[in-house]
Chains A and B, each alone.
Chain A
Amino acid sequence: MGATYTTASSVEDAVAAMAAGARPVAGGTDLVVGARQGKKPLPQALVGIHKIPGLDGIGESDGGLVLGALVTHSALVSHPIVRGRFTGLADASAIVGSHATRANGTIGGNLMNASPAMDTGAPLLCMGATVELAGPGGRRTIGLDELWAGPGQLSASADELLVSVNIPAPSPGTGSAYVRLQYRRQMEIAVVGAAAVVTLGGGAVMDARIAITALAPTIHRVPDAEAALVGGPPDEARVDAAAAAAAAAARPIGDVRASVEYRRAMAVVMARRAIMTAVARASGQDMAIPASDSTYGS
């Protein structure tokens, strides 16, 4: 009977189609583009989720944010609250693909694609984001750290649809940043990346979250790096120690874009830039978005 396509008009519709074997498609910027590139053929059964009402909103909740699965990167990077208080996410969404990728690519698709090089993953992980998954048996909420199981691998089952991303309110005095190594500013995938969320109080680092991108099978936080930064002023010694610890946790692959050695060497640089940008923002300095472009070459 050949390939099939249906359009879901509700989350329940989509989940039913997925339970019957269909794969969801929204912007198509991973699924369809990947098929065109020959990475993986298009699934035989597809369910379009792009018309499900109510999934494209960015809402505030107790100082935090609730992002519908269909929120695009363009919507994120132009949203004043995302730019103002969840700046590391704006850094990431601003540099995903091209303008056309950002106009169509969704946050749900980005996270569920489970690429260890995705830009939005590290800042959201550092912000403590959780995702709500809808499946045939109901809904559940898990942390992003529980979602990814490996490159392109999820702990979620194939009939679970990401419905929303919940980001808790940041503490006062918090700044965030995401920085990647890029050979060009646009149409690029992170060669190496790092995110930092830093909370300052009385001139000292009260809390720090640091995560690394494209340096391990999944994006993950580095507790040693966080511990190295907390407990005193964010001076050079503390920042260097944290960046070194972040790089020490790297288990990179070598591929056409960078060798293992080069990724390791750049991990410390990206971590330092992310930490310093987050510290500057936590101190109230206005740093350009995306941070990757303004620190490029420094």
Chain B
Amino acid sequence: MKYEIILTVNGVAYPVEVDAHASLLHTVRDQVGLTGSKEGCDDSECGACMMLIDGRPVNSCSYLACQADGAEIITVEGLAPGDDLTPLQSAFLAEGGVQCGFCTPGMLISATALLAANPEPTPDEIRVGLSGNLCRCTGYDGIVRAVSKVARG
């Protein structure tokens, strides 16, 4: 059975038609057309698909699109307008927090949620706040430095 729902992604309402079991991630990538959020593990281990739903960080691969009907969804594309970067995104670049880039959208979403809840996290709190976001390139230090830099700012 198909359901007509409205996904409000980065402030824009997208009417979409989905199956009951459709994931939010696949719906946003395939129907809304925003491919910044990645599918890594597809079972909430890696965090590459992280989105904010009404401000909460959510592994969108394991979240039903139907449940997000009417919610405010933010993906990496919506963190800053146009080609601008948020201070956090700039810090990731400056501190070497990006290598292949696959984990970066999820890292940025988790770090954004962390800083909203705790504007001055300690390095340990940053590591806890990014647990569930896996990076196989950077060794994490550059990512933690980037978040620390913004937290101190």
A: residues with CB less than 8 A from B are 1-5, 7, 25, 28-29, 32-33, 36-37, 42, 46, 48, 50, 97-101, 103-104, 185-187
Contact = CB atoms under 8 A, between A and B. Distances in A.
B19 A3 contact: yes
Most buried by A among B19, B21, B43, B56: B21
Size category of the B interface is 20 to 34
Given A98-B131, A187-B45, A103 B57 contact: yes
A50 B61 CA distance: 18
B113 interface: yes
Q: Which 6 A-B pairs have the closest CB atoms?
A: A98-B132, A186-B131, A5-B20, A36-B43, A3-B20, A103-B56
A85 B145 CA distance: 36
Interface stretch (B6-14, B64-72, B86-94, B96-104): B64-72
Contacts of A186: 128, 131-132
Interface string B37-50: 00000111101001
A150 B33 CA distance: 44
Nearest to A44: B20
B110 interface: yes
Contacts of A33: 43-44, 59, 62
Contacts of A99: 57, 110, 113-114, 128-132
Contact of A2 (B1, B50, B114, B132): B1
Contacts of B61: 36
Contacts of B3: 5
A99 B125 CA distance: 11
A104 B56 contact: yes
A111 B23 CA distance: 25
Contacts of B144: none
Contacts of B23: 32
Contacts of B64: 5, 25, 28, 32, 46, 48
B51 to A, nearest CB: 10
Contacts of B19: 2-3
B63 interface: yes
Nearest to B57: A100
Most buried by A among B21, B58, B62, B128: B62
22 contacts: A2-B1, A2-B19, A3-B1, A5-B64, A7-B67, A25-B64, A32-B62, A36-B42, A36-B61, A48-B66, A48-B67, A50-B67, A99-B113, A99-B114, A99-B128, A100-B57, A100-B58, A100-B110, A101-B44, A103-B56, A186-B128, A187-B45
A28 B113 contact: no
A2 B67 contact: no
Interface string B110-153: 10011000000000000011111000000000000000000000
Contacts of A101: 44, 132
A25 B62 CA distance: 12
Contacts of A36: 42-44, 61-62
Given A46-B64, A98-B132, A100-B59, 13 more contacts: A4-B20, A7-B69, A28-B64, A29-B44, A37-B43, A46-B20, A99-B113, A99-B114, A99-B130, A99-B132, A100-B50, A100-B132, A186-B131
Contacts of A7: 66-67, 69
A4 B44 contact: no
Contacts of B113: 99, 103
Given A1-B1, A100-B47, A32 B63 contact: yes
Contacts of B43: 33, 36-37
A46 B3 CA distance: 13
Contacts of B45: 187
Contacts of B63: 28, 32, 104
A28 B67 contact: yes
A164 to B, nearest CB: 21
A97 B56 contact: no
Contacts of B130: 99
A48 B64 CA distance: 9
A42 B66 CA distance: 14
Contacts of B131: 98-99, 185-187
